[in-house]
Amino acid sequence: MSGWETVIGLEVHTELRTETKLFCSCANRFGDEPNTNVCPVCLGLPGSLPVLNARAVDYAVRIGVALHCQVQPSIFHRKNYFYPDMPKDYQISQYDLPIDTDGWLELPGGKRVGIERAHLEEDTGKTTHVGGGGRIHDADHSLVDYNRAGVPLVEIVSRPDLRSADEARAYVDELRAILVATGASDGKMEEGSLRVDANVSVRPVGSTAFGTRCEVKNMNSLRSLGRAIDYEVARQVRLVEGGGEVVQETRHWNEAEGHTSSMRSKEEAFDYRYFPEPDLVPVVPDPAWVDGIRAALPAMPAELRRGVAHAAGMAPESDAVVTVVRLGLEPFVTATVAAGADAGLAVRRLANEVASEIGSLANLGPEQFVTLLRMESAGDLTTAQARTVLKDMLTGGGDPAGIAAAHGFEALGGDALEAALDEVVADNADAWARYVAGEDKLQGLFIGRLRGATAGKADLAAAAAILRARRAAGC
């Protein structure tokens, strides 16, 4: 794609974790028996009236504050269109006066992505097409579940600031972490709690004007978002390089076949005939209430990364730091710092051994974790032994000293270590002479042989120090 720049803006719909729906008291719950959480309001029966859910507004404000938006007075509109999963034949949404405007989100690498707006709206029901390929055209029949109709959503619209599929994925990943941190969303993409539409265009490198965009729908994982964008960019570049033109349209991502296809063009776009919802009053958040919500928000992921990175002496965007915060493991780092143990070692162990057994995290207490780090730092356990003990702590629980004793682990140090080194040196006399003469890289050979000779029990850090000392002494 050389010579072309990708431009992406994302629209993310997040379901809010309220007990009830946006305008009625039906339960907001995923996975219930279809059409059991319904009432005259969310079924759109004549004469029923919506009543706004205060908790949903609270969550929308939390999202706005976390994304550095202005929280402003807003009103609801009716967005009119016909589809079987929308019983009222209109969706109550916000249009020209959304509750949150003009914010930003910071990616782990430091780039700021603009947030144009975030607004409240209700979800539609869910249609399942049975038979054929699961699409409406070739289905035998369709089933509709109205349990989701009226579930509160916040739609978050980014500015066209993203420049690659990787950046788009990083944005959604960060946004999801922020939404979960605010308590507004459970972030479960696999349950449809987070749904992403991608607006994609290309332009010649150096151009400041935007190209014509296509909006791609139906990606249900970060992986398919990345694939869909890569496909769409390649398609548009091929089209333009072949003398054609991108037409503005909505396209559908086909996960199984790995391509996008046209759903509807600009000409076929719905005319939604927006007008103000007459059954609801404007929402005017009291600034003092908004300030209270701001003050009560917990630390967001970017701030947590900075804290962990600082403690560990690492960069905030490093994979280990990002992983520790994504998995909510920063309390272990805090405990390590409080105990005066090695926070860098803590982050490495958390991002590797603990992250790979994250399902067993409940077995690991911060105090035991810190004790293990101490044993390793003091040379009572080798790195290999510490890893084994930590795996056992995660899978079965228990204290590190007990587990180490049960394994017969004891780092080989002191005289025993010196003796083991004597043997390794004697067995590799040639290499030793070259090492003493200045071939630094041979140190790895001695360490490797030592590890083998002691079945992994040698304290390798201590051994390396002894090797250097002996070489400096010229023997």
Amino acid identity, position 117: R
Q: Which of 1, 13, 34, 39 binds Zn ion (CB under 5 A)?
A: 39
Question: Would you say 44 and 88 are in contact if contact means Cβ atoms under 8 Å apart?
Answer: yes
Residue 119: strand pairing partners: 155
Contact segment (CB under 5 A) with Zn ion among 19-27, 101-109, 123-131, 301-309 equals 19-27
Q: How far is the CB of 165 from ligand ADP (least distance, A)?
A: 13
Task: Work out how close the CB of 197 gets to ligand ADP at its nearest, in angstroms, rounded to a whole number.
Answer: 8
Can you point out the beta strands (E) in 387-457? none
Q: Which residue has tokens 């042989």?
A: 449
Q: How far is the CB of 243 from Zn ion (least distance, A)?
A: 53
Task: Give the one entry of Zn ion, ligand ADP, none that residue 158 binds, where binding means its C-beta sits below a cut-off of 5 to 8 angstroms depending on kind.
Answer: ligand ADP
> Across 159-267, where does the E strand assignment appear?
194-204, 214-219, 249-254, 259-265
Please identify which residue in 7, 8, 22, 42 interacts with Zn ion, judged by CB under 5 A.
Answer: 42
* Choice between 194 and 351, CB closer to ligand ADP: 194
Question: Do 253 and 228 contact (CB within 8 A), yes or no?
Answer: yes
Rg of the chain over all Cα atoms, to the nearest angstrom: 29
Residues that bind ligand ADP (CB under 6 A): 7-11, 157-160, 199-201, 210-211, 213
How many helices (H) and strands (E) in the chain?
16, 14
- In 10 A of CB 345, how many CB atoms? 18
Compare residues 17 and 117 and give the one whose CB is closer to ligand ADP.
117
Partner touching 26 among Zn ion, ligand ADP, none, CB below 5 to 8 Å by kind: Zn ion
Q: Which does 7 bind (CB under 5 to 8 A by kind): ligand ADP, Zn ion, none?
A: ligand ADP
Indicate which of ligand ADP, Zn ion, none lies near residue 9 (CB less than 5 to 8 Å, by partner kind). ligand ADP
Residues 6 or more apart from 163 whose CB is under 8 A from it? Answer: 5, 6, 7, 8
Report the alpha-carbon distance of residue 112 to residue 102 in Å, rounded.
12
Stretch that binds Zn ion, among 24-32, 176-184, 447-455, 456-464 (CB under 5 A): 24-32
Kind of pairing between the strands at 76-80 and 141-145: unpaired
The interface partner of residue 387, options being Zn ion, ligand ADP, none and the CB cut-off 5 to 8 Å by kind, is none
Residue 156 sits at the vertex; the CA angle it makes with 154 and 160, to the nearest 5 degrees, is: 165
Q: Min. distance of Cβ 71 from Zn ion in angstroms?
A: 27
Q: Quick one: CA dihedral 133, 136, 137, 140, positive or negative? A: positive
Shorter beta-carbon distance to ligand ADP: residue 213 or 449: 213
- Binding partner of residue 42 among Zn ion, ligand ADP, none, CB cut-off 5 to 8 Å per kind: Zn ion
Amino acid identity, residue 357? E
Answer for which of 24, 300, 308, 411 binds Zn ion (CB under 5 A) is 24
Specify the residue, 160 or 365, whose C-beta has the smaller distance to ligand ADP: 160
Q: Which does residue 24 touch among Zn ion, ligand ADP, none (CB within 5 to 8 A, set by kind)?
A: Zn ion
Nearer to ligand ADP by Cβ, of 157 and 450: the residue is 157
Taking the C-alpha atoms of residue 41 and residue 324, their distance in angstroms, rounded to an integer, is 44
Q: Applying CB under 5 A, which residues contact Zn ion? A: 24, 26, 39, 41-42
